[in-house]
Amino acid sequence: MAEPFRILTLNNISAKGLERLPRDRYEVASSIVQPDAVLVRSADMHKAEIPGSVLAVARAGAGTNNIPVAALTARGIPVFNAPGANANAVKELVIASLFLSARNIGPAWLFARAQSGDDAAIDAAVEKGKKNFVGFELPGRTLGVVGLGAIGVEVANTALALGMKVLGYDPQITVQRAWELSSNVQQALSLDDLFARSDIVTVHVPLNDGTRNLVNAARIALMRKGSVVLNFARGGIVDAAAVTAALDSGHLHGYVCDFPSNALKDHPKVVTLPHLGASTGEAEENCAVMAAEQLRDFLENGNIRNSVNYPEAVMPRMPGTTRLVIANSNVPNMVGQISTQLAASRVNIADLLNKSRGEVAYTVIDADGSIDADTFAAVRAISGVLSARLIAG
């Protein structure tokens, strides 16, 4: 029987995820020499030495800031993540925040907690004070969703089910997300158009140079008086000073976000949560399951799904073949050299897939019968091959 794959875990990984790596084929431990792969959540891998035996790194989460991706790419090592695995968790908190802001739940709760005296005194204070927390209902209001990725699509579809009108804006929406998005979501023509027509704007875009301060004073000014901004993406996407100024002037009704700061956490019209968007047991499990399944498909079949540095490359296995997988530099004639080498060794290619992404490419070859060690070594030695592996049929 083949040797089990050795998986090094750098954090506690949910048991549901580890169940996807069956014991008879996988040895999984937090200290392991010469691991075939690393499963990680938030542990910082930048300073750690990554052994030469490692074939892949999988992150049970979305971001990969804690992983030296560029160095691994150069070594021909794919890094996997779990995009969208926490989308439902974030969506639920965003939907909760619609109600939080519409019904002034944060300040109303603080008011109730601040009451003292006997119950009669509390009753009297409540009846007198509740007028300060009169809210609004969601049906008929317009929600503007910026970014229609895994989270934005779920938020948009759920808001429709609550009776809201929904506007969406995402110039780079993927075909997959476009299929998932309800046809009742209207397309905003531009960001400014979305802000001008929304009662509540929620952002679901990555933080980068193009999205930093996407919600700024000029766009807030386009919103109707009494509007709300929700931010469960990243703090820097919303200009906090512009938001607090608009809250103070009464132009904005509220701001709910997942990113407390000194300027925001005590503001009476702001509710800040401690980065809770993805903090559910289910999200953690979903991430671990996705990461483990992708890792398994790569180790056992050489397939690549949801890698942040190598292209998507999935080819079904064929009986009676040996699979050769190669990570290589994206330069001319790599496939030519590899197939010439195989032909010289009288190896017949039954199927072949070659995908590129930026400066690297990935080649999957199913060869009839077997490939001997000398042929494999010759392929491995071709200039531009970053890593190569034979997978028995």
Ligand X SMILES: NC(=O)c1ccc[n+]([C@@H]2O[C@H](COP(=O)([O-])OP(=O)(O)OC[C@H]3O[C@@H](n4cnc5c(N)ncnc54)[C@H](O)[C@@H]3O)[C@@H](O)[C@H]2O)c1
In the complex, the residues that contact ligand X under the rule CB under 6 A are: 62, 83-84, 86-87, 90, 146-152, 169-170, 172-173, 204-207, 210-211, 232-234, 258, 275, 277-278
The nearer residue to ligand X, 54 or 287, going by C-beta atoms, is 287
The set of residues, in sequence order, having a beta carbon less than 8 Å from that of 262 and lying 6+ positions away, is none
Q: Hey, what are 382's tokens?
A: 């071709």
The nearer residue to ligand X, 146 or 385, going by C-beta atoms, is 146
The nearer residue to ligand X, 55 or 194, going by C-beta atoms, is 194
Beta strand 349-357 with 360-368 is antiparallel
CB of 85 to ligand X, least distance (A): 9
The nearer residue to ligand X, 9 or 272, going by C-beta atoms, is 272
Q: Are 216 and 239 in contact (CB under 8 A)?
A: yes
The nearer residue to ligand X, 92 or 368, going by C-beta atoms, is 92
Q: Which helix (DSSP H) or strand (DSSP E) does residue 202 occupy?
A: strand 200-203
Sheet holding 5-9, edge to edge: 26-29, 5-9, 37-40, 56-59, 79-80
**Residue 380 CB: number of other CB atoms within 10 A?**
15
CA distances from 342 to 350, 374, 386 (A): 12, 11, 18
CB of 298 to ligand X, least distance (A): 21
CB of 317 to ligand X, least distance (A): 29
The nearer residue to ligand X, 195 or 232, going by C-beta atoms, is 232
Q: Are 145 and 155 in contact (CB under 8 A)?
A: yes
The CB-side HSE value for 169 (13 A sphere, CA atoms) comes to 21
Residue nearest to ligand X (CB): 149
Question: What is the C-alpha separation between 77 and 175, in angstroms, rounded?
Answer: 28
The nearer residue to ligand X, 28 or 167, going by C-beta atoms, is 167
The nearer residue to ligand X, 258 or 293, going by C-beta atoms, is 258
CB of 150 to ligand X, least distance (A): 4
The set of residues, in sequence order, having a beta carbon less than 8 Å from that of 393 and lying 6+ positions away, is 317, 318, 319, 320, 321, 322, 323
CB of 54 to ligand X, least distance (A): 26
The nearer residue to ligand X, 215 or 379, going by C-beta atoms, is 215
The set of residues, in sequence order, having a beta carbon less than 8 Å from that of 13 and lying 6+ positions away, is 39, 41, 60, 288, 291, 292
Identity of the amino acid at 60: A
At residue 225, φ and ψ (nearest 5 deg) are -60, 135
Q: Taking the CA atoms of the chain, what radius of gyration do you get in angstroms?
A: 26
Question: What is the C-alpha separation between 224 and 200, in angstroms, rounded?
Answer: 9
The nearer residue to ligand X, 151 or 271, going by C-beta atoms, is 151
CB of 88 to ligand X, least distance (A): 11
CA 122-124-130 angle, to 5 degrees, is: 90
